[in-house]
Amino acid sequence: MGEMNHQDVLPLAEVSEIDEAKRQWLQGMRHPVDTVSEDITEPEPAEILAEFIRQHSAAGQLVAHAVFLSPPYSVAEEELSVLLENIKQNGDYADIACMTGSQDDYYYSTQAMSENYAAMSLQVVEQDICRAIAHAVRFECQTYPRPYKVAMLMQAPYYFQEAQIEAAIAAMDVAPEYADIRQVESSTAVLYLFSERFMTYGKAYGLCEWFEVEQFQNP
């Protein structure tokens, strides 16, 4: 019985000899360690990495490449590159996607996060508010199509402050790359944005007037 207990609870000396990278991955994933036995197969590092990304996606969060290189995980760049390549080549991890930002690469699971939401989250993470707003407006106008209500920028995934939004819109007004982003207000002074790439001013005004006024007059 003494030997079985010894196997169930590893002495500190033996714990410290366990491969450091695997131990840190397991700590990061919060796997229970009190039920480890010889006939339970330890998860592959690529599987642990993929599950880590999936859990964060389910919580609405991207995982930056730098996260894996930093404490408490501290995976070597060479090892991380191999793991990520294994994930890319393995059909079991087909949901793991990568998006490149201006500061880093970011990973997410398409099971829990759409490409559009990931793109919006990336811009928020990198604090590129102007680009985030332009992406949201263009996506809305092209996809639905409809103008984008500015108040939506204070909700998930953005949570921008009113002053941040006002400053960003002012900056966009004079930036050539955002020349297509225009403002339009309903008759009740509710502010919307639209992209002239996908919508005329008249169309945008008609839609925002419908959303804010007419649909309530004509139930």
| Residue 146: domain span | 127-217
Per the structure, the count of domains in the chain is: 2
Claim to verify: residue 100 and residue 66 sit in the same structural domain? yes
Claim to verify: residue 99 and residue 154 sit in the same structural domain? no
| Joined tokens for residue 185 | 């207000």
Claim to verify: residue 109 and residue 133 sit in the same structural domain? no
pLDDT tens column, 162-196: 989 998 998 898 888 899 999 999 999 999 999 99
Give the up-direction half-sphere exposure of residue 210: CA atoms within 13 A in the CB hemisphere. Answer: 8
pLDDT tens column, 53-107: 999 999 888 999 999 998 888 899 999 999 999 999 999 999 999 999 988 999 9
How many CB atoms neighbour CB 205 within 10 A?
A: 18
- Cα 94 to Cα 54, 110, 118: the distances in Å are 12, 9, 16
Residue 118, domain member (yes or no): no
User: Is pLDDT of 33 > 70?
Assistant: no
Amino acid identity, position 80: L
Residue 120, domain member (yes or no): no
Boundary-marking domain end, from 113, 147, 169: 113
Residue 211 CA from chain centroid, whole number: 29
Residue 122, domain member (yes or no): no
Claim to verify: residue 101 and residue 134 sit in the same structural domain? no
Query: 155: closest CA among 182, 189, 117, 185?
Result: 117
Cβ pair 150, 134 in contact under 8 A: no
Residue 107, domain member (yes or no): yes
Cβ pair 147, 192 in contact under 8 A: yes
